[in-house]
Amino acid sequence: MIVACYVRVSTENQLENYSIEEQTERLKLYCKSKDYIIYDMYIDGGYSGGNMERPALQKLLSDVQSGKINAVLVYKLDRLSRSQKDTLNIIEDHFLKNGVDFISLNENFDTSTPFGKAMIGILSVFAQLEKDQITERFTMGRIGRSKAGYYHGGPTAPTGYDYKDGKLIVNPVTSQQVQEVYQEFLNGKSINSIQRQMHEKYGGWGSATLVLNVLKNSVYIGMVKFKGVAYPGLHTPIISREQFERVQQYLNSEERESRKTTAQKTPFKAGFTLSGLVFCKRCGAKFSAEHGNYTCYSRSKSSPKRVIDPNCKNDKWKISDLDELIFDEIEHMSIDDDRLNQVVSSVKQPSAVDEASFQAEIEKIDQQIKRLLDLYQIGTLPISEISERVHSLQAEKEKLENQAKENRRQMSVKERIERFKQLVSQIQYMRTQSVEKKRIYVAELIETIYIDGKEVSINWRI
């Protein structure tokens, strides 16, 4: 039988006694014992098993396609590939499709036997699992770096900072520009107008997207993020947390109103304090603010597409009366702890577990999986038993990861409650502000206002 011997090493593998010389010698001895004729030695030195673009592998596949060989021999399955998908693709779509058998010396099987065909799928799973473990350990390193407060976005620092010696350093010039962007946004200017203003004054602010990204980036309050989780950073904040949180509320408010008419699309244009928040409790339609009144669209029929029940006769409310009622309700909460606590108590306040506790348990499971892989490598346990144990550990790990996500959500509930109380305490100041600022303030506190005749009910945003 004419066979092709494939050999692959990476820097890491050379340190694990899988050198080119070691693999080549064992493959030659095996072929000699079986009276196989070696067509060629295909050697990829210093190439990762997670990449199909290897010169020797591509030449091997070409020779397989040409019908020059009867079988492919490797020292170990993961020399062919560490990717389950790539391994099965090579064996099934290249080797077997062209009548070429595949033999792995270390695992002692070949695809010419039923057992060998079954083992291919099983062992490929473990090759993929090993690759995933390497990736996960790398990810854990980045998480650890983030927890230590280091920015990991690369050498291109966010606007307002310079990147030096692995750390973010405040740039005295561009940091002032970032502060100006936040202040102009809080003053009610649109993102597009801010972009034009900044570009004309300083240059470099080439798009509205850049402005939006600056407004959304928590790096400016001293945080670093990895995989959606924020950690306290080592760098100096440029923006106060209060400013940042207000901006996020405004951005969300803008998104919620994105489907309104052109005049209503942004909460920063002059309008009415409660626009977009008032709904009819009888038919479910929104209330419009026009001619001095808040009126159900189903009743006013000023926008046919917003009519839900043409026969709705819900009461109109004077704009000034409803605005005053809502601000009075907020003010009552600011001086009446019982009323405030009644609203807050409607939100469950779970006792969240320290994030590190979950991470420690997940790391323990990772270590157990790694030990099982080591046992597989040296042949201490049968593969069926290892597979069962790994499956069980992976299920447990997934459960812990879901619990960790829920824990983070619970922590955010506590933060929202504190933010809600803080906003309520600002009511006296907000009464004197412009309509634009009042709109934004109320939108931070209130999700919806329902009108049922003379009755008004509020769904608080908490």
| In the predicted structure, residue 191 carries a pLDDT above the cut 90 | no
Q: Do 423 and 402 contact (CB within 8 A), yes or no?
A: no
pLDDT of residue 263: 34
Residues with Cβ within 8 Å of 277's Cβ and at least 6 positions away in sequence, in order, are 442, 443, 446, 447, 448, 449
**Phi, psi at residue 270, to the nearest 5°?**
-60, 135
Say if residue 327 is in the same domain as residue 437. yes
> Do 304 and 402 fall into the same domain?
yes
Do 250 and 266 fall into the same domain? no
Secondary structure class of 210 (helix, strand, coil): helix
Instruction: Using a pLDDT cut of 90, give the percent of the chain over it.
Output: 29
- At which residue do the structure tokens 């799973």 appear? 125
| 285 lies in the same domain as 424 | yes
Q: What is the mean pLDDT of residues 19-27?
A: 89
List, for residues 230-260, the tens digit of each pLDDT value.
778 888 899 998 889 888 887 775 443 443 3
Q: What is the CATH number of the domain that holds 215?
A: 3.90.1750.20
105 three-state secondary structure: coil
pLDDT of the residue at 298: 95
Range of the domain at 213: 160-256
Shared domain check, 57 and 12: yes
Asked whether residue 199 is assigned to any structural domain, the reply reads yes
In the listed set 256, 285, 313, which residue is the last one of a domain according to the structure? 256
Question: Catalytic annotation on 10?
Answer: yes
Contact 84, 128 (CB under 8 A): yes
Q: How many CB atoms lie within 10 A of CB 152?
A: 12
- Residue of 10, 81, 288, 298 with catalytic role: 10
pLDDT at 256: 36
In a domain, 459, yes or no: yes
Residue 152 belongs to some domain of the structure: no
The secondary structure of residue 149, as a DSSP letter, is T
pLDDT at 370 over 50: yes
Residue finishing a domain among 208, 232, 256: 256
Residue 259 pLDDT: 35
Q: Give the pLDDT score at 282.
A: 95
- CB < 8 Å & 24+ apart, contacts of 143-148: 143/226, 143/227, 143/229, 143/359, 146/224, 146/225, 146/226, 146/229, 146/231, 147/231, 148/234
Phi, psi of 54 (to 5 degrees): -120, 130
The answer, as to whether pTM is greater than 0.95, is no
Residue 338 CB contacts under 8 Å (≥ 6 apart), including other chains:
none
Query: What pLDDT, on a 0 to 100 scale, did the predictor assign at position 409?
Result: 58
Note whether residue 349 is domain-resident.
yes
How many domains in the chain?
Answer: 3
Kindly state whether residue 153 falls inside one of the protein's structural domains: no
Domain co-membership, 271 together with 420: yes
- Mean pLDDT taken over the chain: 80
My answer on whether 248 and 280 are in the same domain is no
> Torsion angle, CA of 184/186/190/194, rounded to 10 degrees?
20
Residue 317 has pLDDT above 90, yes or no: yes
Supply the pLDDT for residue 124. 60
Res. 229: pLDDT tops 90: no
Q: What digits encode the pLDDT tens for the residues 49-70?
A: 778 889 999 999 999 999 999 9
Instruction: Flag whether 178 is in a domain.
Output: yes
- 427 CB-side CA count, 13 A: 18
CA distances from 326 to 79, 231, 330, 331 (A): 70, 37, 6, 9
pLDDT, tens digit, 9 for 90 and up, residues 68-113: 999 999 998 788 887 766 777 788 789 988 999 999 888 777 777 7
On the question of pLDDT at 357 being above 50, the answer is yes
Q: Where are the beta strands (DSSP E) in 206-301?
A: 223-226, 229-232, 278-280, 287-290, 293-296
Residue 219 lies in a domain: yes
The larger pLDDT score, comparing residue 249 to residue 266, is at: 249
Name the one residue in this structure whose structure tokens are 């079954």. 118
> Comparing 2-6, 37-41, 385-389, which segment has the lowest mean pLDDT?
385-389
pLDDT reading at 158 higher than 50:
yes
Residues 110-133: tens digit of each pLDDT: 777 777 766 666 656 665 665 666
Same domain, 217 and 127: no
Q: Could you tell me if 404 and 333 lie in one domain?
A: yes
- Same domain? For 316 and 167 the reply is no
Query: Which of 256, 281, 299 is a domain's end point?
Result: 256
Asked if residue 115 and residue 6 are part of one domain, the reply reads yes
Looking up tokens 């040296």 gives 378
DSSP-based three-state secondary structure for 73: strand
* pLDDT number for residue 178: 94
Domain harbouring 33, CATH code: 3.40.50.1390
**Confidence at residue 434, expressed as pLDDT on a 0 to 100 scale:** 83
Q: What is the structure's pLDDT at 19?
A: 84
The reply to whether 173 falls in a domain is: yes
Same domain, residue pair 245 and 272:
no
Average pLDDT score over residue span 274-293: 91
